[in-house]
A and B are shown apart, each in its own frame.
Chain A
Amino acid sequence: MSGKEEFLSKSERTTCWSSRDYYWECLRSNNEEAAKCTDLRKIYESSCPAQWVKHFDRKFNYLKFKEKMETEGYEPLNNI
Chain B
Amino acid sequence: MSFGPRRFFQRFQINTISKLNFSNVSGGPTTPSELPKRKNLITGKGGPITWKTAGITGILGAGMVTYLLYLKEEQEEKQRKERKRQLGKANIGGPFELVNGSNNIVKSEQFLGQWMLIYFGFSHCPDICPDELEKMALVIEKLEKEEANTGIQGIFITVDPDRDTPQIVDKYIKEFSSKFIGLSGTSDQIQQVCKKYRVYYSPGKKDVDNDYIVDHTIIMYLVNPEGEFIDYFGQNKTASEIVDHILLHMFKFKQEKESLLKNSLGKLNFLSEKKIATS
Contacts and interface: CB of A to CB of B under 8 A. Distances in A.
Contacts of B210: 3
A51 B168 contact: no
A10 to B, nearest CB: 5
Nearest to A54: B207
Contact of A3 (B126, B130, B168, B207): B207
B244 interface: no
Interface in A12-32: 13, 17
Interface in B139-183: 163, 168, 172, 175
A51 B123 contact: no
Contacts of B22: none
A54 B208 CA distance: 13
B209 interface: yes
Given A17-B127, A49-B124, A56-B126, A9 B213 contact: no
A51 B124 CA distance: 9
A3 B172 CA distance: 17
A19 B68 CA distance: 75
Contacts of A7: 123-124, 168, 172
A55 B213 contact: yes
B211 A3 contact: yes
Contact of B126 (A2, A4, A52): A52
Contacts, number: 43
B212 interface: yes
A12 B181 CA distance: 22
A49 to B, nearest CB: 6
A70 interface: no
A6 interface: yes
Given A17-B127, A49-B124, A51-B124, A9 B211 contact: no
Interface in A37-74: 48-52, 54-56, 59
A54 B126 CA distance: 10
Given A7-B123, A7-B124, A56-B126, A51 B207 contact: yes
A59 B128 CA distance: 12
A51 B126 contact: yes
A76 B163 CA distance: 44
Contact of B168 (A6, A50, A55): A6
Given A7-B172, A9-B175, A50 B209 contact: yes
Given A7-B172, A13-B130, A50 B123 contact: no
Given A7-B168, A8-B124, A51-B207, 20 more contacts: A3-B207, A3-B209, A3-B210, A7-B124, A7-B172, A9-B175, A13-B130, A17-B127, A49-B126, A49-B211, A50-B209, A51-B124, A51-B209, A52-B126, A52-B213, A55-B126, A55-B213, A56-B126, A56-B127, A59-B127
21 contacts: A2-B209, A3-B207, A3-B210, A3-B211, A4-B209, A7-B123, A7-B124, A9-B175, A10-B175, A17-B127, A49-B126, A49-B209, A50-B209, A50-B211, A51-B126, A51-B212, A52-B213, A54-B207, A55-B127, A56-B126, A56-B127
Interface of B: 123-124, 126-127, 130, 163, 168, 172, 175, 207-213
